[in-house]
Structure 1
Amino acid sequence: MKTIYAMSDIHGMIGPFRKRLDQLNMDEFSAGEATLILLGDYIDRGYNSLKVLETIYELKCDLKDNMIVLMGNHDKWFLNFLEGHNPGWLGNSQATAFVSQFMPEEDMGKVYTLLSRYRQDLISDIARKAFEKYNSDLYSWMKSLPLYHETEHQIYVHAGVDEEAEDLWMYGTSDEMFYEKYPPVKGYFYKDIIAGHVSTSTASGHRNDHDIYYDGESHFYIDGIDSYPADAKEKDCIIPLLLYTEDNERGRYYSIRHDGRKALICEKKW
């Protein structure tokens, strides 16, 4: 039987992320009986982005091929910032908090001085050197994150694919579309698409929807974190957890509730 767990848009919220990890049987992954797929956006919003990245990286090193970690737009924006292509990324308190987690105190003094002078363009080089010095393995790993993961019946991706390209989507989809596609698409596609990026409240049209959204055909949106207000406390947020099982040519999708109970979303016959 094939078993896949998927999460997306952790956004620096280490508490809710660890709660979800605690609900998983890691022996199942180590034995190759299950795969964990993360769909991107590990940083920003919450104030523990570095801890989230370190946790994911350590887990990936342990689980190897039984864990897939994809690129999200916020992750890409951070990498672009380090390369000097996105100085405006440092324009919010969460981003500054993230940088302060890997930057020596004396260098952070320079950062705050440059911010006060509106010279974000000069900060990238300082930040990149610090990140490379103290987190070189993490930096190299982040730059290598894939844009999608394909199975026989599914496409796991941060934002989406070019569905007009049909079965040539992997050639018709630009890198930016994989992690920035908007608005969310609904309806039939020849493979199921499991994505984050767009809040489940936006996808469903229901303001307080924090759970997995299924459009009834081929699309599953699992970014519930961005459905919470910007000032929501980490302890009050729950990261949606999708479970997919497949046996005897039948696939079943479940939402794992906060207490660990499974709730069937749909069943498909392949």
Structure 2
Amino acid sequence: MSLLKRLFGSKPAPAPTDLGAPRPLQTTYVVGDIHGRADLLQKLLLQIDADRADDPEAVCIFLGDFVDRGEHSGAVLDHLRARQSETPATFICLMGNHERMMLDFIDRTKERGQRWLRNGGLQTLASMGVSGITESAAPDRLMAARDQLLDLTEPSMVDWLRTLPTQWNSGNLVVVHAALDPNAPPADQSDRTRIWGHRDFLKRPRQDGLWVAHGHTITDQPQCVASRIAVDTGAYYSGTLTAAKISPAGTVDFLHT
């Protein structure tokens, strides 16, 4: 019995034989949407760090949506940025649509501010020290909250958010926050598709041998099916944060909090 099975009781989820198997060039851990659950992030990282202790080349990818909804988005951002700065080659953070909305709040406050607040931005602001604002705040109040957020946040944190990539790939594995158009190669995809999704993504498996690991779409259980590996198990309300361990041998195991 493998160490992973003894520790966590999970079993490999074999990929469909007709589509081949996902085979990254190195062991790859893909972590689903965190949404401000710093407590779950800490627990899952303990599991991942223990499991990868004998594999220094293993890569850990975070799918984005670090912020909003949960109560500790600021702590999540601080921890992820610190870990990435320590080992940038093996600890990689991608941009999700909620990071994009947060940046829109900063850059296009009057036009896009309320949208972010309606989708969990209030909790993120509170976790970073900004309070006294509502989802329906007037434009001048939105601007004041934006200015307060920037006063309380290191400029390097905002710069880090702006430079988050939207895709990572290794072997026949592609990792994005939300989706790829199954009818087009990864190089021809837009950032909007990668972080917001595509109407055909969940309907049609890819036919080019590529597998896509993603979050964004909540599932009760993680899935490995039809050229997709889905790991968003709704951590902010379910209490379950999930990671997929994808091996060069073509097996997929799931770790859970």
TM-score by length of 1: 0.75
Q: Is the 8 A contact 1:12 1:42 kept in 2?
A: yes
- Change in CA separation of 1:125 and 1:117 when aligned onto 2, cut-off 3 Å: closer
Q: Is the 8 A contact 1:102 1:130 kept in 2?
A: no
1:125 is matched with 143
Post-superposition shift, 1:14?
A: 1.1
Given candidates 147, 161, 165, the residue that maps to 1:146 is 165
Select the structure that is richer in helix.
Answer: 1
* Alignment of structure 1 residues 227-238 onto 2, 5 Å: 232=237, 237-238=239-240
Report the aligned-residue RMSD. 2.6
1:34 is aligned to 2:58: yes
Q: Deviations over 1:148-177 (max 9, x none)?
A: 111121110011112212x3x322x22211
Q: Which secondary structure state, in structure 2, belongs to the residue aligned with residue 76 of structure 1?
A: helix
Structure 2: distance between partners of 1:2 and 1:220: 17
Q: Which secondary structure state, in structure 2, belongs to the residue aligned with residue 68 of structure 1?
A: strand
The range that moved more, 24-33 or 173-182, is 24-33
Post-superposition shift, 1:131?
A: 3.4
- Change in CA separation of 1:43 and 1:174 when aligned onto 2, cut-off 3 Å: same
1:55 is aligned to 2:79: yes
1:95 is matched with 121
Q: Which secondary structure state, in structure 1, belongs to the residue aligned with residue 246 of structure 2?
A: strand
Post-superposition shift, 1:199?
A: 0.9
Percent identity, aligned pairs only?
A: 22
Structure 1: distance between partners of 2:88 and 2:136: 44
Post-superposition shift, 1:117?
A: 7.4
The residue type equivalent to 1:82 in the other structure is I
1:225 is matched with 234
Structure 2: distance between partners of 1:29 and 1:18: 16
The residue type equivalent to 1:237 in the other structure is G
- Change in CA separation of 1:31 and 1:64 when aligned onto 2, cut-off 3 Å: farther
The residue type equivalent to 1:142 in the other structure is L
* Alignment of structure 1 residues 175-194 onto 2, 5 Å: 175-183=191-199, 184-185=201-202, 186-190=204-208, 191-194=210-213
Report which structure shows greater RCO (CA 8 Å, sep ≥6): 2
Structure 2: distance between partners of 1:73 and 1:90: 10
The residue type equivalent to 1:97 in the other structure is Q
1:212 is aligned to 2:212: no
Structure 2: distance between partners of 1:90 and 1:38: 21
Post-superposition shift, 1:126?
A: 2.8
Q: Deviations over 1:72-118 (max 9, x none)?
A: 011101110111241213544942232133346xxx45xx3xx4974
1:135 is aligned to 2:154: yes
Select the structure that is richer in strand.
Answer: 1
1:170 is matched with 187
* Aligned residue pairs, count: 227
Structure 1 gaps of 5+ residues are 201-208, 259-270
TM-score by length of 2: 0.78
Q: Deviations over 1:192-218 (max 9, x none)?
A: 000100012xxxxxxxx2x21122x31
Q: Which secondary structure state, in structure 1, belongs to the residue aligned with residue 124 of structure 2?
A: helix
Structure 2: distance between partners of 1:194 and 1:19: 21
Structure 2 gaps of 5+ residues are 1-24
Structure 2: distance between partners of 1:77 and 1:99: 13
